[in-house]
Amino acid sequence: MSIYPTILEKIILPIADRLVGTMYKEQFKTFSRLDSASREDIVLWQNKKLQALITHVYQNVPFYTEYMNNNNISPSDIHSAEDLDKFPIIDKQLIKERFKEFIPKNINQLKYRIVSTGGSSGAPLKYYQSNGMQSAMWAKRTCVLKKYNIQLGEKYLTLGSSSIIPNSKTSFKTSVFHNLIGMIPLNAANMDANKCQVAIALLQKKKIKVVYGYASAIYLLAKYVLDNKIDLPLKGCISTSEKLTKQYEEVIKKAFGCIMINEYGARDAGICSYRCEKGNFHMIESCLYRLEKGAKTGPILTTNLINYAMPFINYDVGDIITTHQNVCGCGSNSFVFEDVVGRASQIMTLGNGRTVTGPAFTVLFSGLPVQYYQIAKNGDCSIEVRIQRTNEYNEDTERTILNSLKTQAGEDCKITFNYDYEFKLLKSGKRDYFVA
């Protein structure tokens, strides 16, 4: 057995924590302990974190200082998740409109980075993320994968959104990090036959036994393996960003003969959750979640307990879930929910043979000046890009979108832009950003 995972965990990553201000070692230790804790101990830990967060937002975050003063709410009034009913529900639109009010007055004393998410609602959001929040999601993933004998540092192929923007370059720091943890990225926005062949060649040449990525991308790779009778056994597949349908899961398991790990995450909320063998999703302990009072199915409202750089309380992520009222029977005492109702896998097959997956384009639009967007197939080999622009949108923005789509969908695919499209909410309260 390789000793590299131990060296990486015990020596390399702690050094990285000190050099770049991350908190992986601390978070990994916390989640390892909570993984075997009782429900009572988990609640006690969360309540302590919640009380500290509420004190922070009252003292430092203008939006919450004003709200709490106007509604006679004191930090001492908040003891547990049940008390979050006292706070308003917030969403991406409200955060955009009052962005500066969510920035803490002591932001310069915090370690954070500015990130963006396109999300599955077609409404990009820029926000501040504390270093500890990102470290927590990564540490939680490490704890979960260890249960499936997938070790930290083990090589894995990611079918995601790397290099979705033409001519973009991965930073040196990011490349070093990817190498350390064994990550080998491959752009999965277009999973046609050629891209599947590239993925298979990488898996075979580098002896990779784990694949992580969009559910639709892993499914398309699995289907290609089955259709071409390729023997490619894997150790595990981890799906993310989309709902893992029963059809997808069956095809993936048949193709690779491996375990299937279903991940549900929302980076802006700090969510990192995994479906256990009992079929329930276990929520990362550093994020409280709830539904509106009395509801069993509805929008998931989250409160991340460790993102002091831009705290969101009762944040409507934009996804619909079904709750689970009891402790799961799998042995873990963490809080769970049954299913994510509001996410759907989408694949766009074009007449030129290209197959385009939806989630990759959330990365492209997350950094662009658009209010809402939707990518829609409107012909055998034609795509309409529907956009509600912001004031910063210009010809260069359109050119970036056009070049990216042409790269993934093919030069012969006709791309048109519609700036007058009337965006309407679905029954789920989301906007459909990808119409295949």
Q: What is the pLDDT of residues 34-54, one digit of tens each?
A: 999 999 999 999 999 999 999
Between the ranges 175-179, 314-318, 346-350, 369-373, where is the mean pLDDT highest? 314-318
Nearest to 238 by CA among 144, 120, 116: 144
298 or 173, higher pLDDT: 298
The CA-atom distances, in angstroms, between 50 and each of 224, 288, 343, 372 are: 47, 9, 28, 33
Domains located in the chain, CATH noted: 1-342 (3.40.50.12780), 347-435 (3.30.300)
- Give the pLDDT band (50/70/90) at residue 118: low
Percent of the chain surpassing pLDDT 70? 92
Q: What is the pLDDT of residues 288-305, one digit of tens each?
A: 999 988 788 888 999 999
- Global pTM? 0.80
Residue 42, pLDDT score: 97
Q: What is the pLDDT of residues 20-29, one digit of tens each?
A: 788 888 999 9
